[in-house]
Chains A and B, each alone.
Chain A
Amino acid sequence: MPRITFITSDGTATVVENADGTVMEIATENSIAGIEGACGGVCSCATCHIHVQPEWIDRVGPPDETERDMLEFEEATHPGSRLSCQIELTPDLDGLTVEVAPLQ
Chain B
Amino acid sequence: MSQCPYHDPFKDAREKSAVLPTQFDGDPVPMILGLKDVRKAARDFKTFSSNAPFRIPIPAEQDVRSVRQFPLEVDPPDHTDYRKIVEPFFKRPTQPEYITRVENLVGELLTDACQRDSIEIVREFAIPLQSRALTYLLNMPESEADVWIQWGTHVFRDQSGVSKGAEMEAYCNQLLDAAAANPGDDFFSALIQAEFQGRRLTRDEMLGFANITFAGGRDTIINTVAVVIAYIAEHPEALDALRENPKMVLTATEELIRFTTPLTHIGRVCPVDTDVHGETVKAGNLVSLCWASANFDESIFDAPEEVKLDRKPNPHIAFGNGAHNCLGAPHARLLVRTLLRKLCELTSSTQLIEATPKVEKEADYERQNAYESLTVQISGP
Contacts and interface: CB of A to CB of B under 8 A. Distances in A.
A44 B322 contact: no
A73 B43 contact: yes
B251 interface: yes
Nearest to A42: B314
A39 interface: yes
A40 B313 CA distance: 11
Contacts of A69: 36, 39, 315
Interface string B292-330: 000000001000000000011111110101100100011
B250 interface: yes
A42 B329 contact: no
Contacts of B250: 39-42
Interface in B17-69: 36, 39-40, 43
Report, as a range, how many residues of chain B touch the other chain: 20 to 34
A20 interface: no
B320 to A, nearest CB: 11
A27 B203 CA distance: 41
Contacts of A64: 313
Given A70-B315, A73-B39, A44 B254 contact: yes
Given A66-B300, A73-B39, A73-B322, A44 B315 contact: yes
Nearest to A64: B313
A38 B313 CA distance: 14
A40 B254 contact: yes
A43 B313 contact: yes
Contacts of B39: 69, 73
Contact of A42 (B94, B311, B321, B330): B311
Contacts of B315: 42-44, 66, 69-70
Interface in A28-60: 36, 38-45
Nearest to A66: B313
Nearest to B317: A44
A28 B173 CA distance: 39
A49 B223 CA distance: 31
B349 interface: no
Contacts of B311: 42
Interface string A65-91: 011011001000000000000100000
5 contacts: A40-B337, A42-B251, A44-B254, A67-B313, A69-B315
Interface of B: 36, 39-40, 43, 94, 250-251, 253-254, 300, 311-317, 319, 321-322, 325, 329-330, 333, 337
